[in-house]
Amino acid sequence: MKNSLLIILAFTTLLGTCEGKEETAGRESKTAGVVTPHSRGLHGYIGYSASRPPERAAYSAGMGFYSAVWPLIDRPIANFQIGLPSAWITPDNSDNKDTPLAPVGTLARDNWPARGPTWASVFQTVEGGLGYWARNRFRYGPPKFSMNATPQCYDYEVGSPGWSFFYSSKALPDNRLGIAQLSNRLLIPPDALPFEGNPNGKFLGYAYMALPFTDPTTGDPPTGDQAWTCFLSAANFKGPIAYYIPETWSKIGKLFNYPFIYGRGLDARPGNMGGGAMEINTVPRFDAEDARGVVYSKLPKLQFPVDEQGRSLLVQDVTYYSKAALYDAFKAWRDGGPACSGKFDEKGAWKSTLKTRTPRFDQAGKQITGVEKVFDTRVFESNVWGLQWFDSDISPTGCFPQYSKHVGDRRVAVSAAEVPPETQLLTRRFKLAGRGAPYTSPTTGAWGNPGPVRGPFTVILADGSLVTYCWYRFVDQPSFQQYAWSREKKEKLQSFVEKIHANWPIDRDYMAPPGTGTLARLDPALLVRPPDGLELGYVPIVTRQEDAAR
């Protein structure tokens, strides 16, 4: 997801909260039944590790997998953030042992000394994925899918063709736009992509492939040719949706006058992806005492899809790709060779072997025990990772333990039947998420010059939001306008994208189909058709997203 791992770690460390009282036996509580809300209800990672190819550098041109889609919560809860299984991609700078990659003046360098001496893990990342994020403005029940990247040591993030990762309702400044919309059939709203219905355990495939839309340059800054392109595999849409423009990664060296990092970003370096995880971050909780002063906690109900064997199948087909999978054929086509289908060639694919271990959880820094009696992580046949549920009185099958008892420095998972009624926890409900402010974009600058050729158009999504979008010529979309590219370079790129639009349909398998299960469906309202005359070389750019009820 996913989610900005390192900002999350800093946030959960710094966020203050009132700690629950420890068990105090032998006295009558004067505050029994007084329920107090808190943050930091649950933190941890439910994850797996993935084996790397023997020739790691060779299989660094793409990474992908299939991840389960399901409603982790049954109601949209305020101040709630958990990513469904996802992974992180970073540039491979393993040859650098001691020189900082994060320049002085960046958020990571100035605030996270523990990441030194190289700050490699917080230099640049591709994250995102499926999940729930605390700053989503339009919650609707099921999760959403979002791209996300941190190109400048966590100074800012790029989550869609116009906006950051939910941190502001205003579009990114022109010089921080980083994603180029590629698909002419799918909208990419800033609040992420919703799904159709309630896909309880169906799968979404996604892969990031480094593709050479443009040639490398030796200018200031030098820039590689790797455009990390997001491919989706859903029941009603397959193919690339957008890519990170290579300059998104290279310009940090020029901005901070730091030549050492030229050629060390994701535009030029091999991609590095380890395992993946569900990242449990922002979860509210309630605390209350019983008549004897013993403190109990309540979490929101967290639910998982479970099959007839008591399993939650969450991730499958973790695959690394070499340039033989797509890059080589793509480049040859771009340079005048035969058209390539876009299908990932199996001769360039390497399937990873997964491993896992029992996860650990904490509440406000206090270890939660007993969860292992309810479920544990497993790698099942066909190399599918997920959860095995056990018969337990603590929690129903498929549900994370909702209640815990404070015992010294521990939180012990208990069943609802063990929670004294006088605590009032059993009937207390968590605050629902409200509807947020509209995402807005300017009509000047990169958004207005050259500007759209058709629109605006509107559509209402499954999350209850109204999306406004306009059609732009591909190279005229806002993200490209910060670069002084030659007319020849822009026209070559425009011509090639027209060929992609003409040859790559949305019902072809680009990723290999999943080994098991069925595919989830994206919200059909996201699917659009180009207007007459704009079928090739034009893309729909979202310019606003707001509550449809306003």
Query: What average pLDDT does the segment 406-431 reach?
Result: 97
The SS3 assignment for 153 reads coil
Residue-level pLDDT at 22: 42
Residue pLDDT, tens place only, 67-119: 999 999 999 999 999 999 999 999 999 999 999 999 999 999 999 999 999 99
The SS3 assignment for 326 reads coil
Residue-level pLDDT at 143: 97
How far apart CA 194 and CA 463 sit, in angstroms, is: 7
Residue-level pLDDT at 57: 81
Angle among Cα 203, 207, 209 to the nearest 5 degrees reads 165
Judge whether 140 and 76 are in contact, CB under 8 Å: yes
The SS3 assignment for 3 reads coil
Residue-level pLDDT at 8: 35
Higher pLDDT, 379 or 2: 379
Check whether 509 has a pLDDT greater than 90: yes
Asked if the peptide bond before residue 142 counts as cis, ω within 30 degrees of 0, the response is: no
Judge whether 89 and 244 are in contact, CB under 8 Å: no
The SS3 assignment for 465 reads strand
Residue-level pLDDT at 96: 97
How far apart CA 48 and CA 85 sit, in angstroms, is: 9
Contact partners, residue 458, CB within 8 Å, separation at least 6: 466, 467, 468, 469
What does the DSSP assignment read for 364-412? TTEEEESGGGTEEEEEEGGGEEEEEE---SSS-TTB---EEEEETTEEE
Query: What average pLDDT does the segment 423-446 reach?
Result: 96
pLDDT over 70, % of the chain: 95
Local confidence band at 550 (pLDDT 50, 70, 90 cut-offs): confident
Task: Specify burial of residue 417 (Cβ count, 10 A radius: 0-12, 13-18, 19+).
Answer: exposed
Query: What average pLDDT does the segment 424-430 reach?
Result: 97
Q: Say which amino acid occupies 290.
A: D
> Quick one: which H or E segment has residue 228?
strand 227-233
Judge whether 282 and 72 are in contact, CB under 8 Å: no
Check whether 16 has a pLDDT greater than 80: no
Judge whether 541 and 161 are in contact, CB under 8 Å: yes
The SS3 assignment for 346 reads helix
Q: Say which amino acid occupies 198.
A: N
Query: What average pLDDT does the segment 479-502 reach?
Result: 98
Residue-level pLDDT at 493: 98
Whole-prediction pTM value? 0.93
How far apart CA 97 and CA 27 sit, in angstroms, is: 58
> Quick one: which H or E segment has residue 12?
helix 5-14
SS3 string, 41-86, reads CCEEEEEEEECCCCCCCCCCCEEEEEEEECCCCCCCECCCEEECCE
How far apart CA 84 and CA 276 sit, in angstroms, is: 10
Residue pLDDT, tens place only, 158-169: 999 999 999 899
Local confidence band at 171 (pLDDT 50, 70, 90 cut-offs): very high
SS3 string, 163-213, reads CCCCCCCECCCHHHCCEEECCCCECCCCCCECECCCCCCEEEEEEEEEECC
Angle among Cα 22, 281, 114 to the nearest 5 degrees reads 95
For the chain, the domains span 5-333+345-547
How far apart CA 261 and CA 245 sit, in angstroms, is: 18
How far apart CA 30 and CA 457 sit, in angstroms, is: 60
Check whether 17 has a pLDDT greater than 80: no
User: C-alpha distances in angstroms, 438 versus 78, 136, 543, 549?
Assistant: 17, 11, 11, 12
Q: How far is CA 440 from the centre of its chain?
A: 22
Q: Compute the chain's Rg from CA coordinates.
A: 24
The label of the residue with tokens 């993030």 reads 157
How far apart CA 330 and CA 537 sit, in angstroms, is: 17
Judge whether 423 and 288 are in contact, CB under 8 Å: yes
Judge whether 124 and 91 are in contact, CB under 8 Å: yes
Residue-level pLDDT at 3: 40
Token pair listed for 501 = 């639009």
Residue-level pLDDT at 14: 33
Mean confidence (pLDDT) of the chain: 94
Token pair listed for 89 = 């991609």
Check whether 470 has a pLDDT greater than 70: yes
How far apart CA 415 and CA 539 sit, in angstroms, is: 52
Higher pLDDT, 286 or 10: 286
> Quick one: which H or E segment has residue 302?
none
How far apart CA 529 and CA 547 sit, in angstroms, is: 23
Phi and psi at 306, nearest 5°, equal -130, 130
Q: Say which amino acid occupies 164.
A: S
Q: Is the dihedral of CA 165, 168, 174, 180 positive or negative?
A: positive
Residue pLDDT, tens place only, 248-273: 999 999 999 999 999 999 999 999 99
Check whether 120 has a pLDDT greater than 70: yes
What does the DSSP assignment read for 89-145? EEE--TT-SSS-SSPTTSHHHHH-GGGTTT-GGGT-EE-BEEEE-TT-SS--SS-EE
